[in-house]
């Protein structure tokens, strides 16, 4: 296959439905699949459609497990804007994924140790079969902001002002976005056997072009994906506009 394998759809909903159908097919083919999951606006309709597939019958998460890309540091457990709360409300609470099989980075206590343990847990599970990724307007993947090393591992990182601004709407009025988070590293992400990156809307067009048509550089973290053998990019026409113009 060509890298990346671009799958361009006429609308946002056609794109996210196709991602959900791809995930459902992969889960059906490999019930004990180890999923790498992402959060953010892009994945709200993806998980909603995946839950629909589950409710339609014939799909089970009972043998699956998942590892999320990232989590904010410093939010009280259960905070509405935490990625744990997002995963519970958009996916985990609605499917038969066993309790304890949906992992997110630990963000309390000794964070360095927790990061090493997260890497060890991924390795002990056998590595990630399919990693979902969104893309930041600045080219970030997970919370690997521009400048992140391509061999970086799970660690605590500072969020850029643009990322904090982009995620502000997820927080109750008057609250600020935490300045730091724990994220899988780019090196961690590159070890997944398959990567599915999803980009919706014109605001992602430039990041997509820089990531896949520009040169590989830590200034655009997603450009690291050029060195991965199996990357599928699901996007709508608006996000694909600059890639297509090439
Ligand atoms: C989320 C994550 C981020 C988002 C990216 C796009 O777990 O790691 O990299 O995928 O910021 O976010 P949305 O989809 O809100 O545009």
Q: What is the pLDDT of residues 86-100, one digit of tens each?
A: 999 999 999 999 999
| C-alpha 46 to ligand 1 mean position (Å) | 13
Task: Please give the structure tokens belonging to residue 195.
Answer: 């990567």
Check pocket membership of 138 for ligand 1, CB cut-off 6 A.
no
The distance of Cα 226 from the centroid of its chain, to the nearest Å, equals 17
∠ at Cα 51 (46, 52), nearest 5°?
A: 95
Dump pLDDT digits (tens) for 21-53: 999 999 999 999 999 999 999 999 999 999 999
Q: What integer pLDDT is reported at residue 143 of this predicted model?
A: 98
pLDDT digits 0-9 by tens, 198-227: 999 999 999 999 999 999 999 999 999 999
Just give the CATH number of 10-213.
3.40.50.1360
- Nearest residue (by CA) to ligand 1, atom 2, is 142
pLDDT, residue 11, reads 98
Q: In whole angstroms, how far apart are CA 234 and each of 50, 92, 134, 209? A: 15, 23, 10, 14
pLDDT at 67 over 70: yes
Helix (H) or strand (E) holding 49: helix 43-56
Q: Are 163 and 145 a contacting pair, CB within 8 Å?
A: yes
The candidate with the shortest Cα–Cα distance to 181, out of 148, 137, 220, is: 148
Nearest CA to ligand 1 atom 12: 40
Which residue(s) pair with 234 in the sheet?
Answer: 7, 198
- Distance (Å, rounded) from C-alpha 77 to C-alpha 166? 22
Close Cβ partners of 93 (under 8 Å, ≥ 6 residues apart): none
Give the model confidence (pLDDT) of 2-24 as tens digits: 679 999 999 999 999 999 999 99
State the pLDDT confidence band at 65, using cuts at 50, 70 and 90. very high
Q: Please name the residues in contact with 168: beta carbons below 8 A apart, sequence gap of 6 or more.
A: 176, 177
Q: Is residue 246 pLDDT above 70, yes or no?
A: no
* Average pLDDT, rounded, for the chain: 96
Give the active site residues: 70, 138, 140, 145
For 102-114, what is each residue's pLDDT tens digit? 999 999 999 999 9
Question: What are the tens digits of pLDDT across the range 145-196?
Answer: 999 999 999 999 999 999 999 999 999 999 999 999 999 999 999 999 999 9
pLDDT for 77 = 87
pTM of the model: 0.97
Beta-bridge partners for 197: 133, 233
Tokens standing for residue 131: 């990693």
* Number of other CB atoms surrounding residue 137 within 10 Å: 15
Paired tokens of 8: 């361009």
Q: Is the CB of 54 under 6 A from ligand 1?
A: no
- The reported pLDDT for the residue numbered 2 is 63
């Amino acid at each position: 296959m060509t890298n990346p394998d671009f799958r361009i759809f006429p609308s946002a909903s056609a794109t996210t439905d196709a991602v959900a159908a791809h995930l459902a097919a992969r889960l059906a083919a490999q019930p004990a699949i180890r999923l790498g999951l992402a959060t953010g606006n892009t994945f709200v309709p993806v998980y909603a459609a995946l839950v629909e597939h589950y409710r339609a019958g014939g799909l089970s998460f009972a043998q699956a497990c998942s590892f999320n890309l990232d989590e904010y540091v410093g939010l009280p457990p259960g905070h509405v804007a935490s990625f744990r709360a997002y995963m519970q409300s958009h996916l985990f609470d609605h499917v038969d994924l066993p309790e304890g099989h949906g992992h997110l980075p630990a963000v309390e206590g000794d964070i360095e140790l927790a990061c090493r343990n997260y890497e060890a847990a991924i390795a002990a599970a056998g590595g990630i079969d399919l990693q979902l990724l969104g893309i930041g307007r600045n080219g970030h993947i997970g919370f690997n902001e521009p400048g992140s090393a391509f061999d970086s591992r799970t660690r605590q990182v500072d969020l850029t002002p643009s990322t904090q601004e982009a995620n502000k709407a997820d927080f109750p009025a008057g609250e600020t976005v935490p300045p730091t988070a724990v994220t899988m590293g780019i090196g961690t992400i590159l070890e997944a056997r398959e990567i599915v990156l999803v980009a919706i809307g014109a605001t992602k067009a430039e990041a997509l072009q820089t990531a896949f048509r520009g040169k590989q550089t830590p200034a655009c973290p997603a450009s690291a994906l050029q060195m991965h053998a199996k990357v599928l990019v699901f996007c709508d026409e608006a996000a694909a506009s600059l890639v297509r113009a090439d």
